[in-house]
């Protein structure tokens, strides 16, 4: 066991503050990573404030962060994929049982024994729960570590490890989206990646936003059209016309308004995870034989596929790089939808 500097929250009501946490020594299959950048996901905020208490209560101290990019500093004796000095990425998963049907289908995110990067029981018992990437280093089984394209800007790569795969996976799963009308609801961290991927796969991309000020950015990011969702007239014009909608909203909202945007057999996939249940009107589904589904991150192989795709197509997140000392301010800005379009923490700030 060794000690690492980190930012943690002591309770749901506490701000994040400097702390020292235990990390395990590298075992045979582990790599140790010096963290360079860590993206700030809205899930970090939900977890720190215990907003998902009914599903996944938060254990304190809580060290969030699951959009990790860094450099390998040490490898265990059985490690084959990495060597010291390599760039590496870690997303939301750090372990699974490797034997269940989901693991065998490369869908480790659905393994009943999956270990998430933070707030999951720590099988290595370095601490009661796993601690995430708001830290100077992390030790991870190499099977959950990704290769990062060296050509991309690392601050903008970090968010691909969650926001990237979470939007890439459901768009790919939908099928051949070329020429289809695809909506992305909410232009935040996930949403702006959804726009980039939907556009890269050839969809006719429409952004739904509550922030009229994001209109130009949405078009620059790849949208063909933008709908201000608070404008009933604009919404009505597009009713019944969408093939697919990706809903990334982090807060309570009227899902029926978006179901009514779908055409026959259209699908909404929820990736946003609001604290409170959504209220679905049966009629919004019945008319048009519409579907409402959900999706959570992606498996390790698909995450690597997404990173390779980003390397080939020069895709990264649009980031505002912040020092770790600004993290509490960043959370307040997330709550006001004031982020363009992902905060990425420069972890060098943790040393100073």
Of 93-101, 126-134, 160-168, 242-250, the window that binds Zn ion (rule: CB under 5 A) is 160-168
Quote the CA–CA distance of 96 and 113 in Å, as a whole number: 6
Q: Which does 248 bind (CB under 5 to 8 A by kind): ligand NAP, Zn ion, none?
A: ligand NAP
Quote the CA–CA distance of 148 and 35 in Å, as a whole number: 13
Of residues 36 and 162, the one with the C-beta less far from Zn ion: 162
Q: Is 41 in the site for Zn ion (CB under 5 A)?
A: yes
Q: How far is the CB of 26 from ligand NAP (least distance, A)?
A: 28
What does the binding site for ligand NAP look like in residue numbers (CB under 6 A)?
41-43, 46, 162-163, 166, 186-191, 209-211, 214, 248-251, 253, 271-274, 295-297, 334, 337, 339
Of residues 188 and 311, the one with the C-beta less far from ligand NAP: 188
Of residues 41 and 177, the one with the C-beta less far from Zn ion: 41
Bond preceding residue 341 cis, omega within 30 of 0: yes
Which has the closest alpha carbon to 88: 48, 138, 44?
A: 138
Q: Is 40 in the site for Zn ion (CB under 5 A)?
A: no
| Cβ-contact 207, 187 below 8 angstroms | yes
Q: How far is the CB of 317 from ligand NAP (least distance, A)?
A: 10
- Pick from 162, 171, 203, 249 the residue near Zn ion by CB under 5 A: 162
Q: How far is the CB of 38 from ligand NAP (least distance, A)?
A: 13
Q: How far is the CB of 212 from Zn ion (least distance, A)?
A: 26
Which has the closest alpha carbon to 142: 86, 187, 184, 181?
A: 86
Q: Is 43 in the site for Zn ion (CB under 5 A)?
A: yes
Question: What is the DSSP annotation of 221-289?
Answer: HT-SEEEETT-HHHHHHTTT-EEEEEE---S---HHHHHTTEEEEEEEEE----SSPP---HHHHHTTT
Q: Which residue in the shown chain puts its C-beta closest to Zn ion?
A: 41
Q: Which does 189 bind (CB under 5 to 8 A by kind): Zn ion, ligand NAP, none?
A: ligand NAP
Of 41-49, 94-102, 117-125, 338-346, the window that binds Zn ion (rule: CB under 5 A) is 41-49
Q: Please, which residues bridge with residue 48 across strands? A: none
Residue 60's SS3 state is coil
Task: Check the CA dihedral 11-12-16-20 and report its sign.
Answer: positive
Quote the CA–CA distance of 5 and 305 in Å, as a whole number: 32
Kindly list the residues in this chain that would bind Zn ion in the complex (CB under 5 A).
Answer: 41, 43, 162
């Amino acid at each position: 066991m060794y000690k690492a500097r980190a930012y943690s929250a002591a309770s749901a009501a506490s701000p994040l503050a400097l702390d020292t946490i235990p990390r395990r020594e590298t075992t045979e299959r582990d790599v140790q990573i010096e963290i360079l950048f860590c993206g700030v996901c809205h899930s970090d905020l939900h977890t720190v404030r215990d907003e998902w208490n009914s599903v996944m209560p938060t254990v304190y101290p809580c060290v969030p962060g699951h959009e990790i990019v860094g450099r390998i500093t040490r490898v265990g004796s059985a490690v084959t994929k990495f060597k010291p000095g390599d760039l590496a990425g870690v997303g939301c998963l750090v372990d699974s049982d490797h034997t269940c049907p989901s693991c065998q289908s490369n869908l480790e995110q659905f393994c009943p024994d999956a270990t998430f990067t933070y707030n999951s029981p720590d099988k290595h018992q370095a601490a009661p729960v796993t601690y995430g990437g708001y830290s100077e280093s992390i030790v991870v089984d190499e099977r959950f570590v990704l290769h990062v394209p060296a050509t991309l800007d690392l601050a903008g790569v970090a968010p691909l490890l969650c926001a990237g795969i979470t939007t890439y996976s459901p768009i790919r799963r939908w099928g051949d989206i070329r020429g289809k009308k695809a909506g992305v609801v909410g232009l935040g961290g996930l949403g702006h990646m959804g726009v980039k991927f939907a556009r890269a796969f050839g969809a006719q991309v429409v952004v739904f936003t509550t922030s009229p000020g994001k209109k130009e950015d949405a078009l620059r990011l790849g949208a063909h059209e933008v709908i201000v969702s608070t404008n009933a007239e604009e919404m009505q014009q597009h009713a019944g016309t969408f093939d697919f909608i990706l809903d990334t909203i982090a807060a309570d909202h009227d899902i029926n308004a978006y179901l009514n945007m779908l055409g026959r057999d259209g699908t909404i996939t929820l990736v946003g995870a609001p604290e409170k249940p959504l209220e679905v009107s049966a009629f919004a589904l019945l008319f048009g034989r519409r579907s409402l589904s959900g999706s959570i991150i992606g498996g390790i192989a698909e995450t690597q596929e997404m990173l390779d795709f980003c390397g080939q197509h020069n895709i990264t997140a649009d980031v505002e790089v912040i020092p770790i000392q600004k993290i509490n301010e960043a959370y307040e800005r997330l709550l006001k939808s004031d982020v363009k379009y992902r905060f990425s923490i420069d972890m060098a700030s943790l040393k100073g």
